[in-house]
Amino acid sequence: MRVGLTGGIASGKSTVSSIFAELGAVIIDGDKLAREVVEQGQPGLAQVVEAFGPEILTADGDMDRAKVGRIVFNDDAKRKILEGIVHPLVFERYAALEASAPQDGIVIHDIPLLAETGRADTFDAVVVVETPTEVQIERMLRDRGWSQADAESRIAAQATHEQRRAIATYLILNTGTREELRARVEEVYAALVAAR
């Protein structure tokens, strides 16, 4: 069973993903793959340098993710260029990882921008993790050391809560304790197992 897992930045999606993994799901992490396809030696990095220039590299030759983030999250055209490079490479990796998963397993694709890419209908179910916007901002300021402006621009560049809810088969509201979150994830996992 193919399940899409999505949620806004700092919504708790990674925590939900790790709980699903503990419960037995196979996790394919879009963020991790997006980092891998632009590592040194990968064709993705060469394409990003070609599109944005060598100044997006660190002294060691890695992609400066923070610098690229600042460039693309304030410019829709540049963000689309980056997505046009990274997304096809990530989807190739998804397909390969999915093909190697057990036939009767639940494969959860952890995709931050699922609503934005219009691919929700390619999954058997979609799980959306949602946290109030003010909590997302608070977490980015506290946990990532970002400025208020950076946090707000990241949220503005992503789908709205309403757009994510529109694609949700299951909604997980991350507004309580870790134990409450785990209980809700267990409920959703049981429902996925039953629907398999």
- For residue 156, count CB atoms less than 10 angstroms from its CB and return exposed for 0-12, middle for 13-18, buried for 19 or more: exposed
With respect to residue 5, please indicate whether it lies within any of the assigned structural domains: yes
Q: Which of 77, 104, 131 is the last residue of a domain?
A: 104
Task: Please tell me the total count of domains within the chain.
Answer: 2
Per the structure, the complete domain to which residue 142 belongs is given by 1-25+106-191
Percent of the chain with pLDDT over 70: 100
Q: Domain holding 86: CATH number?
A: 3.40.50.300
Over residues 155-192, the pLDDT tens digits come to 998 999 999 999 999 999 999 999 999 999 999 999 99
Between 103 and 79, residue with greater pLDDT? 79
Instruction: Say what the pTM is.
Output: 0.77
Both 4 and 58 in a single domain?
no
With respect to residue 186, please indicate whether it lies within any of the assigned structural domains: yes
With respect to residue 164, please indicate whether it lies within any of the assigned structural domains: yes
Q: What is the pLDDT of residue 4?
A: 96
Q: What is the pLDDT of residue 160?
A: 95
Both 151 and 171 in a single domain?
yes
Given pLDDT bands bounded at 50, 70 and 90, which one contains residue 104? confident
